[in-house]
Structure 1
Amino acid sequence: MTEQFTVRSFKSGNSVALRLPKGLGIEAGEELIVVPHADGSMTAWRKAQSREAFLRLFGSVSEAFMAQGRGDTDQGDYDWPDTPHHPAAA
């Protein structure tokens, strides 16, 4: 199981900051990439390791992914509704 840390937010100027425990091994001034998710959770990783994070995600895709190709990707014509951005055809 991954170790879990509880952190507390605080006001820093016009921003909200997180105080991170020393045990995380993050150095002062180190840049992190934080991605918020729709469910309110967040994912963070070191900016210096962003390439490695991408490659881990890419490597997690199974070999069977799209083994059958993309399938039918042809799209038929769409009859746009009469809107200011898509006026009716003359």
Structure 2
Amino acid sequence: MTIQFRTKTFKSGNSVAIRLPKSLDIAEGTDVVVEQGPHGKIEISRVVDPAEEKRRLLAMIDALARLGPPSYGAEGRLPVDIPERPGL
């Protein structure tokens, strides 16, 4: 699902800048990549630090491992009674 925000450019020093809505949760000082695609499309993406992503994933795996196996067994299904249907 794509969410669109409408904003206007403004002058910041010798550059043109845009304000990003707070709801995008991009903190000041966040590294981003700006790409210009076909038909004037501009895409802004956060820079992903592979070492930080790996650290976060390992921490998540460790937290899941500490939960241990579920304390309940697999649920069995009730037997299904299929009635006879003559002529089918």
TM-score (norm 2): 0.51
Largest Rg, 1 or 2: 2
Using the TM superposition, give the Cα deviation of residue 32 of structure 1 relative to its aligned residue in structure 2, in angstroms: 0.8
How far apart, in 2, do the equivalents of 1:4 and 1:17 lie?
18
Q: Identity of paired residues, percent?
A: 45
Q: Once the 2 structures are TM-superposed, how far is the Cα of residue 25 of structure 1 from its aligned partner?
A: 0.6
Counterpart in the other structure of 2:2: 2
For residue 35 of structure 1, report the CA deviation from its aligned partner: 0.5
Equivalenced residues, count: 51
Question: Counterparts of 1:45 and 1:37 in 2: how far apart (Å)?
Answer: 13
Q: Which ranges in structure 2 are unaligned for 5 or more consecutive residues?
A: 54-88
Q: For 2:35 and 2:49, how far apart are their aligned partners in 1? A: 14
What secondary structure does 2:9 align onto? Answer: strand
Taking the aligned partners of 2:21 and 2:9, their CA distance within structure 1 comes to 12
Pairwise CA distance, 1:13:
0.4
Give 3-state SS (helix, strand or coil) of 2:44's partner.
Answer: strand
The residue number in structure 1 matching 2:45 is 45
Q: CA deviation at 1:48?
A: 2.5
For residues 8 and 29 of structure 1, do their structure 2 counterparts lie closer, same or farther at Cα, with a shift above 3 Å needed?
A: same
- CA distance in 1 between partners of 2:5 and 2:49 (Å): 21
Query: Where does structure 1 lack aligned partners over 5 or more consecutive residues?
Result: 53-90
For residue 33 of structure 1, what is the aligned residue in structure 2? 33
Q: Give the equivalent residue in structure 1 for 2:73.
A: none
TM-score (norm 1): 0.50
Distance 1:49 1:6, change over 3 A: farther
In 2, distance between residues paired with 1:46 and 1:17?
Answer: 17
CA distance in 1, matches of 2:22, 2:49: 19
Offset at 1:38? 2.7
More helix by share: 2
